[in-house]
A = this chain, B = another copy of it.
């Protein structure tokens, strides 16, 4: 079990440093800022760091140490692991780099075959907002941490991981568990997949992979997994494959093979980093989509057209509204708005118009899911639109919101995302995201 990585009672930071800017300092600071358990800095040359008593070796800690976070130079890591094993530490995260990715396979071999479990090396480690475990060496002022949520993210690239966390936090999306696995000498994406499958807070598993550690096991695990899995495969091209080898020592393998395995076994493939985030947001928050009939509601005609273009291109149907719905829509809409799908509420909409229209559209039996475009720049639309959109959750149908703009829009988007409503900055991305949900729902039928 991998629980000890995310819910340890005590953590030692081996290679903790007094010097701001150093990894061993940043990791300790990150942990200290949120983790509720006991923290033990280890550094033979310091008595105290960040107000915590410091130990010369992990063996000197009087308490039980459940998780060791290791930031010492690569050459010292094997010895540190020996000490950890002696101490009875069961879980370790090795942040240090300088192993197979720089040709030091010999050094990497010496990490293997141990009793304690290892995440890494050459990674940024783990983050869990529920427990406050945070081994990321990116300072808070550079990179905000997301709050509690339902996406879990496994990544072979620390930079991809931290950039995504920073973006998620910025837009107000929470996560469940984050693991950067680096060269994965021990814990692999396959084992994490199984672990996250049984994690009650995880509703969607996002992965950035340069390769899989074991093809057969990967296939077996994704077939078993009932939760949606979204994968971004890097190293599709010749130069990308070459780069992957020197990045995490990965043999990237044929992209075509990956892509067809993904398709065959119900893994959603994200073609870009933005899709990885977009798809995960919808899959972690929305109920299944029971068919392919999509309604589009908008206050900007052009956005409605762009959404319709994308929707048809991706295989959605844009049905006419039922005659009953149509009649009622006619009553609540102004004369100059026409009842059709996409439904253009026009640029003088207020929250009340959205409310009455959305209740009719969501209740229409012809509609399986909804894209709501709400351009918030118009003067008639006040912040009450957030409540109106939140109310739409009661219909039990999946929906996504598109809102495109600057500061004011971003504030409202954060409020929406915190309420579990996925929002996208362009009509094309909104439709592509709900399409991922449809594909997942179809595959699971």
| Stretch in A192-200, A233-241, A386-394 with 4+ CB within 8 Å of B | A233-241
In the complex, A313 has a CB within 8 A of chain B: yes
Q: Assess A138 versus B378: contact at CB under 8 Å? Given A163-B300, A239-B318, A274-B428.
A: yes
Q: Which of B23, B169, B338, B405 contacts A163 (CB 8 A)?
A: B405
Of the candidates A305, A309, A341, A427, the one having the most CB atoms from chain B within 10 angstroms of its own CB is A305
- Count the copies: 2
Residue of B nearest to A404 (CB): B163
* Shortest beta-carbon distance from A114 to chain B in Å: 24
| Closest partner residue, chain B, to A405 (CB atom) | B166
- State the Cβ distance, A418 to closest chain B Cβ, in Å: 15
Q: Is A87 an interface residue (CB 8 A)?
A: no
**Min C-beta distance of A333 to chain B, whole Å:** 12
- Nearest B residue (CB) for A342: B243
A332 contacts partner chain B, Cβ-Cβ < 8 Å: no
> What B residues does A156 contact at CB under 8 A?
302
Interface status of A377 (Cβ within 8 A of chain B) = yes
Q: Does A159 contact B (CB under 8 A)?
A: yes
A379 touches B300 (CB 8 A): no
A412-439 with Cβ < 8 A to chain B: 425-429
A233 and B97 alpha carbons, distance in the complex (Å): 48
Alpha-carbon distance between A386 and B328 when the two chains are bound, in angstroms: 56
Q: Give the size category of A's interface with B.
A: 35 or more
Q: Which of A184-240 contact B (CB under 8 A)?
A: 208, 210, 232, 234-240
Among the listed B208, B308, B408, which residue makes an inter-chain contact with A141, where contact means beta carbons less than 8 Å apart?
B408
Q: Are A336 and B158 interface neighbours, CB within 8 A?
A: no
- Please judge, given known A-B contacts A21-B380, A158-B300, A239-B318, whether A306 and B273 are in contact too, CB under 8 Å: yes
Contact partners of A248 in chain B: CB under 8 A: 301
Residues of A within 8 A of B (CB): 21, 23, 26, 97-98, 102, 137-139, 141-144, 155-160, 162-164, 166-167, 169-170, 208, 210, 232, 234-240, 242-244, 246-248, 271-274, 298-306, 308-309, 311-313, 318, 335-336, 338, 340-342, 344, 346-348, 375-380, 404-410, 425-429
Supply 30 A–B pairs (Cβ within 8 Å), ascending by A. Answer: A23-B348, A138-B379, A142-B377, A142-B378, A157-B300, A157-B301, A158-B302, A159-B299, A159-B301, A159-B347, A160-B303, A162-B375, A163-B300, A166-B404, A167-B405, A167-B425, A169-B406, A170-B407, A208-B302, A235-B309, A237-B311, A238-B312, A240-B309, A240-B312, A242-B340, A243-B340, A248-B301, A271-B428, A272-B426, A272-B429
